[in-house]
Copies of this chain bind each other. A is one copy, B any other.
């Protein structure tokens, strides 16, 4: 009487679909095939086994086939690989990877959730390297056991995405000598180049040998050779340069792929075969801010898609509004969160969109409270509409809260003015009466309304080199500790009495520590008749982080406050 529903892949998407299918019907037969020995393991927790945060590899497995059967009447067949689909007869060919036995299994509905696999490029000498990838519990257990037994403790991680950074962090926490190699000029593409510097610094500060803008050219015995000529000793190499959707099964069955190379699905996550659905890292999804298809290998969207498929199979409407991509990472003591568009993505997609940014660095709670930390917060919004396009936050405190608020606002098409009005929870241990998000909304709407002008911290080096008039409005003791070489010091507290020191015939660039006092000074000067005044967004603090990494000539490990810019 019930249908027979087969699912390929038993992790995030597959397991979620199976559980929801069962909740919607007791009649259907539900069988989940998983090539590996485990279903329903915590993919995202894998790197945390390397530091012992998750002590035993077994703990990473959340549900066993027995429990799926007993609790949900779902058959989870591990070590079973679906090797082909016969769409005409509506059967899949299943191979037991332990015994090699094959058999056919018929389906009424088929759900593909095969995931994505690590890209391992064919680099010269790769056969000489001890290459590891991190996809499942078997992988991480293997890597962990291997590194436990190497003498030199030298491990290289190639690729600075989520997996690469998390693996590097967790290996470092366990005392390994970790080199993290990224071919692009920055790690973590969900963050812009300016924002990611805080994370770059944190990796350095914790002793990770971070190399960006350099590529692996070959491998030698226990050595990674880079295009720059650098040679990195590495008894183990973790390859984490990216993932590619598992599409072989789909392609061989004649299912369509999209332009991104991932499986193409409609608004109900149905492939071009009405009885076959696909979810998770193997598919492409609609990005509702770029208005284009994209690959979005994240666990949250996979779960939503899986639920959508189960609903659709059971005749329930699916609401697929597309995705905006929200993510967060812990890097030692710092947290970084992002949502929506960033400048890098806008440029990479060559998007025809006019935008501006706000970069503020307020405290994440009242300064008097223990554990108050700065939040580096960047808001991206459309000009002239003020529609919010994205946000990034990096800091030691509760940055995910601020980005989740923006992710929520974006879903409702919010503008920067809306952010000012948000009533967020306030008590001294949790935030400030004017939260980071309100603050960014105020600055953005002031900019949008032409109340003042700003320059970015990325532009300051050019200003210095061109001999622009930069005024440091911090107090003298702050200036004396460290300052931009060539900057004049006129504290906010003295500026109205020293107007004659400020040229009226040229552009003036004001900065303080984080941009707050210089904003007040900017408005004061404007109101006093100076016409060409700019506030340096992010201030000395933002600049310090930005320049920290750019200055190749100095020791990057010095603390930011000792910094003098030349």
Contact = CB atoms under 8 A, between A and B. Distances in A.
Contacts of A428: 42, 44-45, 48
Interface centre among A27, A60, A398 (most CB of B within 10 A): A398
B425 A319 contact: no
A59 B369 CA distance: 11
A368 B137 CA distance: 14
A407 interface: yes
Given A368-B42, A428-B44, A520-B72, A303 B434 contact: yes
A523 interface: yes
Given A12-B433, A412-B414, A520-B72, A424 B398 contact: no
Interface stretch (A175-183, A214-222, A321-329, A378-386): A321-329
Copies of this protein in the assembly total 2
A367 to B, nearest CB: 8
A42 B372 CA distance: 15
Interface residues on A, range: 35 or more
A493 interface: yes
Interface string A398-412: 101101110111011
A400 B400 contact: no
B407 A411 contact: no
Nearest to A419: B408
A312 interface: no
Interface string A418-431: 10111111111111
A67 interface: yes
Interface in A361-400: 366, 368-370, 398, 400
Contacts of A422: 404, 407-408, 411
A23 interface: yes
A266 interface: no
Given A45-B368, A71-B493, A369-B45, A411 B418 contact: yes
A324 B422 CA distance: 10
B427 A330 contact: yes
Given A400-B430, A426-B298, A430-B335, A368 B48 contact: yes
A71 B302 contact: no
Contacts of A494: 70
* Top 3 A-B pairs, shortest CB-CB distance: A328-B425, A412-B412, A70-B493
20 contacts: A42-B366, A45-B366, A70-B494, A71-B493, A71-B520, A300-B424, A303-B434, A324-B423, A328-B425, A328-B426, A328-B427, A330-B427, A339-B423, A400-B401, A400-B425, A403-B425, A404-B424, A408-B424, A411-B422, A412-B412
